Amino acid sequence: MYINNSVQVGRTEQIQKNTYTDTKSTATDVSTSTSTSTSTDKVTISDAGRNAESKWQEISNKYDVTNMSSNELMKMSKELYDNKLISEKEYLLMYDPLGIDEDRNSKHNFLDIMRNDLNEARKRGDDTTEGINIRIKKLDILERLERLST
């Protein structure tokens, strides 16, 4: 498999986690079997894929998603988009005004804000599947940045 962008790298990480879980859960089944087999796959990450990962890391080092202003969130989103780490749709939907009188220089914990927003939307049950999926994707982006910054 040849990986050449950050989406593929992220998906490969998820597959690896799932494969580990699947292997672990079937280990007891194998112990009752008389024969076992092993297969190995080779994964190659392209320079573009590695570059994307380094860009995610670089951006996560610049911004604290638990203490940032709306202006910083918009700037961070633009950097992610300019580096082809998020789609245009994700870029445009990343920022929702916090209120009519919002001070866009005031610091907020956007990770918690987006978690609460998703939980509230699920509780209300009045949002579309697409609306929930957008909230999930925005939260995934911030959580990834948070993981990389620690």
What is the pTM assigned to this prediction?
A: 0.67
Tens-place pLDDT, residues 31-42: 444 556 677 777
Query: CA torsion angle for 133, 138, 139, 142 (degrees, to 10)?
Result: 160
What confidence score (pLDDT) does residue 110 get? 94
Measured between alpha carbons, how far is 95 from 112 in angstroms, rounded to an integer? Answer: 14
- Closest by CA to 114, choosing from 94, 144, 90, is 94
What's the mean pLDDT in 75-101?
A: 92
Tens-place pLDDT, residues 2-17: 455 555 556 555 555 4
- Closest by CA to 110, choosing from 77, 70, 57, 62, is 70
Question: What's the pLDDT band for 113 if we cut at 50, 70, 90?
Answer: very high
Picking from 41-55, 84-98, 133-147, which range would have the lowest pLDDT averaged per residue? 41-55
Enter the tokens of residue 108: 């907020």
What's the mean pLDDT in 56-72?
A: 95
Query: Which has more pLDDT, 25 or 120?
Result: 120
What confidence score (pLDDT) does residue 51 get? 79
Give the position of tokens 């700037």: 75
Q: Mean pLDDT over all residues of the chain?
A: 80
What's the mean pLDDT in 85-93?
A: 93
